[in-house]
């Protein structure tokens, strides 16, 4: 099937010309396209911290592991709390450099020590991920008809880009916006608008697909997009966010988008 971006129509399986309501589909990354293995508690990163600490030692930064761990968690939690309030997303290098400064080392966010610590974190993080087995085929199918993009909350954008390359997803994405690269995070309207501008589409002609009711559904609806929830976990009984559609598998998405009115 040919892709029609300037003309909002295509040809269906019967050979009939069919109008398209949507011109673009935006995806969340984690727990949508890329999943986690053995990652039950996201507030506890023992293996990540061990690798990060090992990177410090390789630079001659002889700080006891317990001191590094405890200082890192205090400053990490502070950065995360401020991000939740401001919807800004400082790069991961900020929490690392602040940790080292608190421990008495004069470093900047661009210091080679900080870069190597982030690489240690990223390598371990990537090893804990795997691709949803339906993701690649769904993206390939949708890319025949729609512009595709990605909007992800992640403070290590370089790691996100590497994952897209690693899993062969980048070739299907016309725009990639990761929060740590633009200092805005979902559900901030700005991060969605950056992606819409990059794709050259309006919110009203865009579908957003993700697993979070707040970040992916409510956030995208607030800027005028149609939101599809990929239900990875049960929906809370007291939930007030109403997705435009709900799917339980990515393979349901093409037909779901076609059915949206």
From 90, 112, 127, the end of a domain falls on 127
Residue 238 lies in a domain: yes
**179 within domain boundaries:** yes
Full domain range(s) for residue 245: 9-34+132-259
Which pLDDT value is given to residue 32? 98
Higher pLDDT, 45 or 9: 45
Structure tokens, 250:
């990515």
More confident residue, 203 or 17: 203
Share of the chain above pLDDT 70, in %: 90
Mean pLDDT confidence for 39-68: 84
Whether 128 has a pLDDT exceeding 50, the answer reads yes
Residue 95 reports pLDDT greater than 50: yes
Give me the torsion for CA of 191, 192, 193, 199, rounded to 10°: 120
Please spell the DSSP secondary structure of 216-236, one letter per residue. IIIHHHHTT-EEEEE-SSPPP
The reply to whether 103 and 137 lie within a common domain is: no
The answer to whether 199 and 149 have CB atoms below 8 angstroms apart is yes
Q: What is the pLDDT of residue 102?
A: 97
Q: How many structural domains does the chain have?
A: 2
| 41, part of any domain | no
- Cα→Cα distances 38→121, 125, 128, Å: 16, 11, 7
Q: What is the pTM of this model?
A: 0.90
What is the rounded average pLDDT of the residues 174-195? Answer: 98
Q: What is the pLDDT of residue 44?
A: 53
Percent of the chain with pLDDT over 90: 87
Return the pLDDT at 2. 38
Q: Bridge partners of 131?
A: 34
CA-CA distance, 144 to 129, in Å (whole number)? 27
**Residue 190 in domain:** yes
Distances (CA, A) of 174 to 25, 153, 170: 10, 18, 8
Last residue of a domain, one of 96, 127, 158: 127
User: 76 in a domain, yes or no?
Assistant: yes
62-67 long-range Cβ contacts below 8 angstroms, 24+ apart: 63/103, 67/103
Task: Work out the pLDDT band at 260, boundaries 50, 70, 90.
Answer: very high
Q: What distance in Å separates the CA atoms of residue 251 and residue 202, rounded to the nearest whole number? A: 25
What is the chain's mean pLDDT, rounded? 91
Region 219-224 average pLDDT: 98
Q: Bigger pLDDT: 39 or 97? A: 97
Q: Give yes or no: residues 138 and 30 share one domain.
A: yes
Mean pLDDT of 230-238: 95
Residue 246 and residue 184 share a domain: yes
Same domain, yes or no, for 51 and 158?
A: no
């Amino acid at each position: 099937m040919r892709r029609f971006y300037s003309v909002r129509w295509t040809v269906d399986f019967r050979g009939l010309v069919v109008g398209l309501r949507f011109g673009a589909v935006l995806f969340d990354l984690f727990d949508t396209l890329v999943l986690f293995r053995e990652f039950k508690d996201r507030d506890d990163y023992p293996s990540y911290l061990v690798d990060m600490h090992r990177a410090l030692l390789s630079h001659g930064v002889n700080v006891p592991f317990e001191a590094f761990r405890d200082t890192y968690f205090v400053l990490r939690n502070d950065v995360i709390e401020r991000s939740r309030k401001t919807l800004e997303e400082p790069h991961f290098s900020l929490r690392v450099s602040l940790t080292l400064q608190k421990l008495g080392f004069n470093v900047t966010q661009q210091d080679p020590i900080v870069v190597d610590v982030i690489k240690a974190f990223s390598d371990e993080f990537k090893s804990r991920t795997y691709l949803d087995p339906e993701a690649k085929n769904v993206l390939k199918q949708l890319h025949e008809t729609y512009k595709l993009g990605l909007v992800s909350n992640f403070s290590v954008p370089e790691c996100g880009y590497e994952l897209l390359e690693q899993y062969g997803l980048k070739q299907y994405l016309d725009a990639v916006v990761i929060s740590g690269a633009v200092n805005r995070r979902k559900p901030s309207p700005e991060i969605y608008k950056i992606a819409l501008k990059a794709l050259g589409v309006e919110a009203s002609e865009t579908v957003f697909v993700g697993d979070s009711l707040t970040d992916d559904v409510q956030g995208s609806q607030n800027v005028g997009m149609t939101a599809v929830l990929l239900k990875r976990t049960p929906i809370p009984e007291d939930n007030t966010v109403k997705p435009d559609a709900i799917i339980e598998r990515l393979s349901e998405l093409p037909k779901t988008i076609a059915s949206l009115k």
